[in-house]
Amino acid sequence: MPTANIKHSGDCALQSIGTFTINYLYLDTELLLNPLRFISAKRWLQFKEMSGIKVSELKKIFEKIIEKLEFEYGNDSEMELKTITYRLIPTEKWNKFEKPEDWYSASEIDQGDLQDDVMELKKMISDDERIATFVDFDRLASILREISQIENPIE
């Protein structure tokens, strides 16, 4: 584990660990007295550095996912999708863990149709003129989620 170098000058403490440098602005030596504050700040910095992803990284990830699917299912075998409708939760609602007043209300949680998703995505194969849209991202994500649930069920 890397060692910490702490420099303190007045109101500012600098903490360096490996490639991480974190500036803390404190009016006292709270950072020096409470190492848990530093650990929390280090995790925040790591999250901040890891919260983005490059297109080239996504490409490598998708290639590995395709390799996994080809290994498990074969190159041209058809996977059976068991779900027809599903709940589509927008990302802005991902951190809301309380149950909506009306769980089945279309206004609270949108519904998707996996069969429709497959049909629309297959149009990209049969129609060279059809371009991918961001809605197709949701469609593909739903299919990948279904495959994941079949192979790695969450009870």
Average pLDDT over residues 135-155: 92
Residue 112 lies in a domain: yes
Residue 18 lies in a domain: yes
Q: Name the residue with higher pLDDT: 72 or 106.
A: 72
Report pLDDT digits (tens) over 2-41.
444 444 444 444 444 444 444 444 444 555 555 556 666 6
* Residue 6 pLDDT: 46
Query: Count of domains in the chain?
Result: 2
> What tokens were used for 9?
């000058």
Residue 87 sits in the same domain as residue 146: yes
- How many other CB atoms are there within 10 angstroms of residue 15's CB atom? 22
Residue 113 lies in a domain: yes
CA angle 76, 64, 73 (to 5 degrees): 30
* Domain that residue 112 falls in: 77-151
Average pLDDT over residues 95-112: 68
Q: Which residues contact 116 (CB under 8 A, 6 or more apart)?
A: none
> The pTM is what?
0.62
Residue 29 lies in a domain: yes
**Helices and strands (DSSP H and E) totals, the chain:** 5, 5
Pairing of strands 20-25, 5-9: unpaired
Residue 141 sits in the same domain as residue 92: yes
Report pLDDT digits (tens) over 48-90.
666 789 999 999 999 999 999 999 999 888 888 988 998 888 8
Average pLDDT over residues 120-133: 94
Residue 57 lies in a domain: no
Residue 136 lies in a domain: yes
Confidence bin at 46 (pLDDT 50/70/90): low
* Residue 76 pLDDT: 87
Residue 73 in contact with residue 79, Cβ under 8 Å? yes
* Residue 148 pLDDT: 92
**Pick from 18, 19, 10, 15: which is nearest to 37 by CA?**
15
> What tokens were used for 142?
């739903």
